[in-house]
A = this chain, B = another copy of it.
Amino acid sequence: MPGPGQAVRPDGRRATARDVAAAAGVSRTAVSFAFNDPARISAATRKRILQVADDLGYRPDTVARMLSHRRTGSLGVLLPQGIPEVMENPYYAQFLVGLGQVCQQEGLTLLLVPPLRDSMLKAIPYAAVDGFVVCGLEVDRGEVAELNRRGIPFVLVDSEAPEEVPSVDVADEAGAEAMMAHLLELGHRRIAILAFEAGPDREQYGYRGPLGRRLTGISRALEAAGMSLDHPTIELIEARATKSAGFEAAHRLLARPDPPTALFALSDILAMGALDAAYELGFAVPDQVSVAGFDDQPEAAWVRPRLTTVRQAVETKGRVAGDFLVAAIRGQSQHPHQLLQATLVVRESTGPARILTS
Contact in complex: A116, B107 (CB < 8 Å): yes
Give bound CA distance, A99 to B83, whole Å.
8
CB distance from A303 to the nearest CB of B (A): 9
Give bound CA distance, A298 to B273, whole Å.
13
Total number of A residues with any Cβ neighbor in B under 8 Å: 69
Give bound CA distance, A125 to B127, whole Å.
18
Question: Taking the full assembly, how many copies of this chain does it contain?
Answer: 2
Give bound CA distance, A346 to B86, whole Å.
30
Contact in complex: A126, B276 (CB < 8 Å): no
CB contacts (< 8 Å) of A341 on chain B: these are: none
Give bound CA distance, A114 to B107, whole Å.
9
Contact in complex: B148, A3 (CB < 8 Å): yes
CB distance from A242 to the nearest CB of B (A): 10
Contact in complex: A6, B128 (CB < 8 Å): no
CB distance from A39 to the nearest CB of B (A): 21
A168-196 interface bits toward B, Cβ cutoff 8 Å, 1 = contact, 0 = none: 00000000000000000000000000000
* Interface membership of A59, Cβ < 8 A: yes
Name 15 extra pairs, CB < 8 A, besides A82-B100, A104-B114.
Answer: A3-B165, A4-B145, A58-B149, A59-B151, A62-B126, A62-B128, A82-B103, A83-B96, A84-B97, A84-B104, A87-B97, A88-B93, A100-B112, A111-B111, A276-B302
